[in-house]
Amino acid sequence: MNCRDALQRMDLFPARRLQDGGSLSPGGAISGAGDDDPAWTELQAHLRECGLCRVAYDAHRLEDTALRGRLNDVVIPPGLEGRLRDALESVERTRTRGGAPRLVRLWGTVAALVVATVSVWWWQGSRGRVSLDTVRHQIKAQVLDSAAQFDALPVIASAAGLVPGWEWRGLVREESGRGLEVDGRPGVDACIYRFADAATHVRGYLVVLPASLLKSAPTNGLPGAIQYRPLPSTAWVAGEHAYVCVAQEGDLSRLLQALYGTAA
């Protein structure tokens, strides 16, 4: 390194490094924050050997220190530290005060969502999920055991359209069905019709209910196999509705054969 490089390199180091280096003496070491920097090491080596550059270095260091001192010569406003602390504590207080309710609100919302989700799931899963056997037993208990009970059921005026197909419309006696409760909870779940076929001498009841109400709804779209307990009955699904036909009198298989050409 020559003197020109050394003079240029003096500018490379911040004032504190030069200050930390202290005044140089011939052959003496310059310690400072730049020890790990190769440029600083080279400068040190040159300064140890060159008296002129040492003088320049000392002048440069003193000048830089003076300049740094002038730049730092700023009067601190009175009370600044107190104002800063007040501002920080104010923000901290706001954060602490506002934080807890936010947390409570957040957890409250989450808990409410969980409860709502579980409730809907439970309601959907448990509401009226009944088996076909349950439906048959409800028909027997509420209607078949006493003919008078059918007339006591509430009339559903808008249920006429629920009768499946022209075959059954000819057999159903009343225009209006009656409301039936099958899932054990208060409220009407199904619509029941009284029917009678003069040709086969079969009379009984036809129940229409939402297919979604059944635990395992039949997959057949027309009357399927006849079940004989507690009474002869058959069930099928068409669209969104499930149909359960219960014969109170007569041979149900004959009726089905007459209507559909097959007993099952």
Which residues of the chain form contacts with other proteins (CB under 8 A)? 11-17, 37, 63-64, 66-68, 70-78, 80-81, 83-85, 87-89, 91-92
What letter represents residue 197's amino acid?
A: D
Distance CA 6, CA 47 (A): 8
What's the Cα-to-Cα distance from 24 to each of 21, 31, 57, 66, 166, rounded to whole Å? 8, 10, 8, 18, 117
Is the CB of 78 or the CB of 161 nearer to other proteins?
78
Minimum CB distance to other proteins, residue 212 (Å): 54
Residue that has been written with the tokens 């000048």 in this structure:
63
Minimum CB distance to other proteins, residue 104 (Å): 22
**Taking the CA of residue 26 as centre, how many other CA atoms within 13 Å lie in the half-sphere pointing to its CB?**
4
Is the CB of 10 or the CB of 135 nearer to other proteins?
10
Minimum CB distance to other proteins, residue 9 (Å): 10
Q: At what angle do helices 51-71 and 3-10 cross, to 10 degrees?
A: 20
Is the CB of 53 or the CB of 130 nearer to other proteins?
53
Is the CB of 64 or the CB of 189 nearer to other proteins?
64
If you compute the radius of gyration of the chain from its CA atoms, what whole number of angstroms results? 49
